[in-house]
Amino acid sequence: MKERGGNPTGMSPAEPALRIFMRRLREIMADPSDGQSRLDKIVHLIAGLMVAEVCSIYLKRQDGSLELFATEGLNPGAVHNTFMKRGEGLVGRCAELAVTINEPDAQSHPAFSYRPETGEEVYHSFLAVPILRGGDVLGVLTVQNKTHKEYLDEDVEVLQTTAMVLAEHLVSGSVAGVNSGAEFSRSVGHVVRGQPLSDGLALGHVVLHEPRVVVTELTSNDPEEEQRRLEAAVEELKSSIDEMLEQGDLASAGEHREVLETYRMFAHDRGWLKRMNDAIRKGMTAQAAVERVQNDTRARMLRQSDAFWRDRLKDLDELSDRLLRILAGRPRSHAMAVQLPHDTILVARAMGPADLLDYDRSKIRGLVIEDSGGSSHVAIVAKALGIAAVGEARGVVERVDQGNPIIVDADSGEVHIRPTGEVIQAYGDKARFRARRQRKYRALRDKPTVSKDGQGIGLHINAGLLMDMPNLAASGAEGVGLFRTELQFMVSATMPRMERQTQMYREIVTEAKGKPVVFRTLDVGGDKALPYLRQPEEENPALGWRAIRLALDRPGLLRTQVRALLRATPGEDLRLLLPMVTTVGEVDMARAMIEREQELLRRRNLAAPKRVLVGAMIEVPSLLFELDSFMPRLDFLSVGSNDLLQYLFAADRNNTRVASRYDPLSVASLRALLTIVEAARRHGRPLSLCGEMAGRPLEAMALLGLGFRTISMAPASIGPVKSMILSLDVEALGSWLVEKVRTAEGNLRAELKRWAETNGVDI
């Protein structure tokens, strides 16, 4: 194949060594001989180029183990007889972590795994690079020498580039036994289970998102021309993002706009651009340079345990995809050209928010992504657009074809591919039942939430983004019981300045249209990392430096936020909720800080809130023993049931191995909650509860029986919970339940269900 900028007359001494090598590598790959022979020739070629005494290729099998498939220098009898378990040895470590390993004396490394059948005991220096394709590790490419030496950066570059080319050869299927992608029957149905990103149920037909751009031209003699091509493509990329920001439905403020602003920042990132230009200077084409940096980014994604940073790396990955399309002459994704069916279900390996916004959103019913997560940017946009979405749906792209019928159950996280007639009928019935149920709940929207025995109950929604606020009116809720202010910080690339925060909080209050909003101050730290906030590594971040602890140690954060909230609510009641309070001293410190900001506002003659009400979340079990000291210091209380019960049982509710230890309707849970209710009554303090149990009719019923009269939940739960309340005699339940809680043991879930059924409660 003629390479970009190549000499059609053949190789010449003036051509770079890497270019000559790549040409020879391509010739071997095109050789009609069998796959094993080609691999044998490839390792021989690499060893010669790098003056290495050993070059080996280990490929990943279907079970995740690594098999020695070809070698130059090791014992030939070890080929297909040497296997490494997942993570075993330096080779396994390279594959598991998707990292380059460069060791001057491999045998002294603690991870070294000696295999006598290979005869490698005489070799010391060791260089291994992962063979990556689309973020997946296909195998490991290694070189070794007898001398103790660390391989040069140039050697690493050559081996990494070779691995990139080798990956394309492997996925062609020409090498038998390679795990180049799972094989699935295209005629039978499959169920893929993922993670819900945006609730809903959608039935439709598959539209595959953006086929991958395959880079075939890797090297060039003209780096200046390649840099010009890259610069032009980057400018086009920036312009396309600016155009999206100017679209009518995206021009207004909101989290979806914040996401695109983050994209724009990454498109201007000098470090990202420099890495691509460096690769071009070493002889790569612009496309190969982009893919090379993209592979590095994907390898970092594989190693990154922090969800926030994984999302940022995904942003860079998605920008690289868009840049490759521009360089390949496909500047607009096929989203701009494809005629979408009216019931489109988009299926993608990965997708960024900008890609989703390229499509005709009026025709998209659902979204399925292999690589995503609830905190990802595309999830935020999907929720804003009301699209049922499932992420982490591993292997879904391999299982579908364009136009396949598909069902997305984003409530459970299930995706049904080519469903049978029975499954379609069942989900059709479910969709119709869901529609009838929603009509019933909509009919209750404006009906007062009053129980059968005449007790008024306050139903509030949880929110955290501006795009959540329309749910307040749509659900008929009485207010926002918990506004998670940290979510806005998490979708911002930089710390929002006070003016931006003030604008956002003012928009929230305006959208509330006079209904109360409880603003929880920043609950960051732990698993909610901010890129612009340096935090130490912690062994147990959930119990570490987070929430009010972090805010009091970094008072500038809390003071700026409080100042913005004060300025955003002139003439209004401002309700502030302090997260994860563990001692009364923390309340005193936070209140003093808030009062200083109020005094500063008065001294500057600025418009102030009518009242500032300060509350705290009860999430830490230690507070159960200080309630009488704690409550008088506050204007209201809110129980954070998710964390309180998780800490009470020392059990992660999302960990399937210990989830059975965690039940909100156990006697221990209900006694803890009853203790809080009784203390709030003694001190005359308003009390609410926000958490998952508030949104489940049976568990919400138990809360009312204990004495809670205000609960806050996801907007979608308002209808079912209101329907339950309208059919409930709260006083009768309370008389029965409180006695049970005081005297029973174990779990009351079954007894509560029986009570509800006996008394005609709609649960």
Euclidean distance between CA atoms 316 and 321, whole angstroms: 9
CB 412 within 8 A of CB 195: no
Once rounded to an integer, what is the mean pLDDT over residues 662-668?
90
CA triplet 465, 470, 476: central angle to 5 degrees?
Answer: 120
Euclidean distance between CA atoms 726 and 722, whole angstroms: 6
Where is pLDDT greater, at 64 or 491? 64
Which amino acid is it at 702?
A: A
Nearest to 697 by CA among 666, 671, 728: 728
Nearest to 718 by CA among 487, 447, 510: 447
Mean of the per-residue pLDDT values of the chain: 82
Of 62-66, 408-412, 523-527, 612-616, the least confident: 523-527
Once rounded to an integer, what is the mean pLDDT over residues 494-518?
90
The first and second tokens of residue 738, run together, are 């409180």
Residue-wise pLDDT tens digits, 295-351: 776 666 555 555 555 566 666 677 787 888 888 876 554 555 567 899 999 998 877
Contacts of residue 747, Cβ cutoff 8 Å, sequence gap at least 6: 663, 665, 666, 667
**Token pair 């500063």 is at which residue?**
600
Q: What CA–CA distances, in Å, run from 237 to 61, 223, 286?
A: 38, 21, 14
Where is pLDDT greater, at 105 or 495? 105
Is residue 342 annotated as part of the catalytic site, yes or no? Answer: no
Is residue 690 annotated as part of the catalytic site, yes or no? Answer: yes
Once rounded to an integer, what is the mean pLDDT over residues 463-491?
85
- The three-state DSSP-derived secondary structure of 457-507 is CEEEEEECCHHHCHHHHHHCCCCEEEEECHHHHHCCCCCCCHHHHHHHHHH
Computed from CA positions of residues 708, 712, 715, 716, in that sequence, does the dihedral angle turn out positive or negative?
negative
Q: What is the pLDDT of residue 534?
A: 59
Percent of the chain at pLDDT above 70? 81
Q: What is the pLDDT of residue 314?
A: 66
Q: What is the pLDDT of residue 13?
A: 34
Of the pLDDT bands very low, low, confident and very high (cuts 50, 70, 90), residue 89 is very high
Residue-wise pLDDT tens digits, 102-136: 999 999 998 899 888 999 989 999 999 999 875 67
Euclidean distance between CA atoms 162 and 45, whole angstroms: 11
Where is pLDDT greater, at 281 or 398? 281
The dihedral region occupied by 197, where left means phi > 0, alpha psi between -120 and 50, and beta the remainder, is alpha
Euclidean distance between CA atoms 313 and 311, whole angstroms: 5
Q: What is the pLDDT of residue 127?
A: 96
Inform me whether the pLDDT recorded for 566 exceeds 90: yes
Euclidean distance between CA atoms 464 and 483, whole angstroms: 5
Residue-wise pLDDT tens digits, 1-27: 333 333 333 333 334 566 778 778 878
Where is pLDDT greater, at 126 or 466? 126
Of the pLDDT bands very low, low, confident and very high (cuts 50, 70, 90), residue 537 is low
Euclidean distance between CA atoms 588 and 160, whole angstroms: 57
Q: What is the pLDDT of residue 663?
A: 87
Contacts of residue 660, Cβ cutoff 8 Å, sequence gap at least 6: none
Of the pLDDT bands very low, low, confident and very high (cuts 50, 70, 90), residue 74 is very high
DSSP codes, 307-358 = HHHHHHHHHHHHHHHHHHHHHTT--S-GGGTS---TTEEEEESS--HHHHHH
Bridge-based pairing state of the strands 687-690 and 636-640 = parallel
Inform me whether the pLDDT recorded for 737 exceeds 70: yes
The first and second tokens of residue 145, run together, are 């020498």
Euclidean distance between CA atoms 252 and 260, whole angstroms: 12
Of the pLDDT bands very low, low, confident and very high (cuts 50, 70, 90), residue 636 is very high
Euclidean distance between CA atoms 459 and 724, whole angstroms: 12
Residue spans of beta strands (DSSP E) within 410-455 = 414-417
> What are the residues facing 406 on neighbouring strands?
204, 417
Q: What is the pLDDT of residue 313?
A: 62
Bridge-based pairing state of the strands 710-713 and 458-463 = parallel
Longest dimension (CA), the chain: 95
Catalytic residue selected from 256, 377, 416, 460? 377
Q: What CA–CA distances, in Å, run from 504 to 26, 204, 383, 413?
A: 56, 37, 19, 32
Residue 744 sits at φ, ψ, to 5 deg, of -85, 175
Of 138-147, 333-342, 717-726, the least confident: 333-342
Inform me whether the pLDDT recorded for 719 exceeds 60: yes
Inform me whether the pLDDT recorded for 254 exceeds 70: no
Q: What CA–CA distances, in Å, run from 257 to 154, 491, 492, 527, 677?
A: 42, 10, 10, 24, 41
Domains and CATH numbers, the chain: 17-170 (3.30.450.40), 190-210+342-430 (3.50.30.10), 223-327 (1.10.274.10), 447-758 (3.20.20.60)
Residue-wise pLDDT tens digits, 50-72: 899 999 999 988 777 899 999 99
Inform me whether the pLDDT recorded for 611 exceeds 50: yes
The half-sphere exposure of 353 on its side-chain side, counting CA atoms within 13 A, is 30
**Token pair 């070809």 is at which residue?**
70
Where is pLDDT greater, at 616 or 558? 616
Residue 150 DSSP class:
P
CB 535 within 8 A of CB 529: yes
Inform me whether the pLDDT recorded for 249 exceeds 70: no
Of the pLDDT bands very low, low, confident and very high (cuts 50, 70, 90), residue 49 is confident
